[in-house]
Amino acid sequence: MEFEYLTHEQRGEIAILSINRPDKRNAVNDGLIEDFHQFFSKPPSEAKVVVVRGNGSHFSAGLDLAEHKERSALEMMRHSQFWHTTCNLMEFGGLPIVVVMHGAVIGGGMELAMTAHVRIAESSAFYELPEGRRGIFVGGGASVRLGNIIGADRTREMMLTGRRYNATEGQELGFSHYLVGDGEGMERALELARTVAGNAPASNYMMLNALSRIENMNSQEGFFTESLAAALTQTSEHAREGMKAFLEKRKVKFDE
Ligand code: 1HE
């Protein structure tokens, strides 16, 4: 697929999306969010997993401040809600995302990165929420999505002080699941993407859709929803094939 601010490369079952505004440090303008929205609204049918990365020396410098400065309250409301629609599509659309973070992972860049289900940081990665210094507030979902990872307390402190967490600290906090050397992120991402793509599609779909929702339920509703998810996946053709392949000691083959 062709986009203005994203490049898309399809390697078999893996779609690679690269944010492509390196001269602006991959700052997120409206066009870039629209590109993400377009891709995740109708991803190529062969894609079973997506790798998201940034071209140039940074993952993303966050919201495009040049574009942002002239908005009314209503325009800002719509803008923030479009980010939410897009980020929700990414988190819950059913296509697992592996992100490779390097250099700046700032503000809205961090909000985009946290929609990914498997997060890899290269050692150059650093994280900041400098909204306070710019006179703005997070609007791409950090209150919820980052809050779910590090809690409201740490999110608030991070925003109040505008502190910079480095890659090692980010790994300890859960911003990344894997920490690798500079330039090693893509190799690890492709390896993990192949593993994820090898799962049954219905199992991946449930992992993406059921777990975050169950986290926000009380335990009785959570247990019931888990049973529903189990009943749907465990009675599928893929479950029969997955268990049969194990018992027959052969490679599993999931047909769509
Ligand atoms: C930008 C942006 C941007 C760079 N919007 N143009 N985000 C921020 O507050 C982060 C602002 N950026 C930075 O702190 C630095 O640029 C970096 C640490 C990321 C990189 O530094 P450096 O020295 O490599 O690059 P630079 O010289 O600062 O920037 C290079 C160019 O990118 C320059 O443009 P040029 O035309 O003068 O070459 C910069 O203006 C441009 N650029 N960052 C627009 N962010 C959904 S709400 C989310 C709210 C937020 O995300 S708030 C956080 C905003």
| Mean pLDDT within 235-250 | 90
Q: What pLDDT shows up at residue 256? A: 67
Run of H or E including 119:
strand 118-122
Percent pLDDT > 90 in the chain is: 90
103 Cβ below 6 A of ligand 1: no
Asked if 87 and 112 touch (Cβ cutoff 8 Å), the reply is yes
Give the list of residues 6+ apart from residue 190 with CB closer than 8 angstroms, or none: 11, 14, 51
128 Cβ below 6 A of ligand 1: no
Which has more confidence, 85 or 253?
85
106 Cβ below 6 A of ligand 1: yes
Please give the mean pLDDT across all residues of the chain. Answer: 96
pTM of the predicted model, to two decimals? 0.96
Q: Which residues does residue 165 pair with via DSSP β-bridges, in sequence order?
A: 127
pLDDT exceeds cutoff 90 at 107: yes
254 pLDDT tier (thresholds 50, 70, 90): confident
Q: What pLDDT shows up at residue 86? A: 98
Q: How far apart are CA 32 and CA 35, in angstroms?
A: 5
Residue 62 dihedral angles phi and psi, to the nearest 5°: 85, -165
Nearest CA-CA partner of 47 in 11, 20, 83: 11
Q: Which residues have a catalytic role annotated?
A: 111, 131
Q: How far does residue 204's CA lie from ligand 1's centre (Å)?
A: 35
**137 Cα nearest atom in ligand 1:** 49
pLDDT exceeds cutoff 80 at 255: no
Q: How far does residue 61's CA lie from ligand 1's centre (Å)?
A: 5
| Mean pLDDT within 185-189 | 98
Q: How far does residue 168's CA lie from ligand 1's centre (Å)?
A: 23
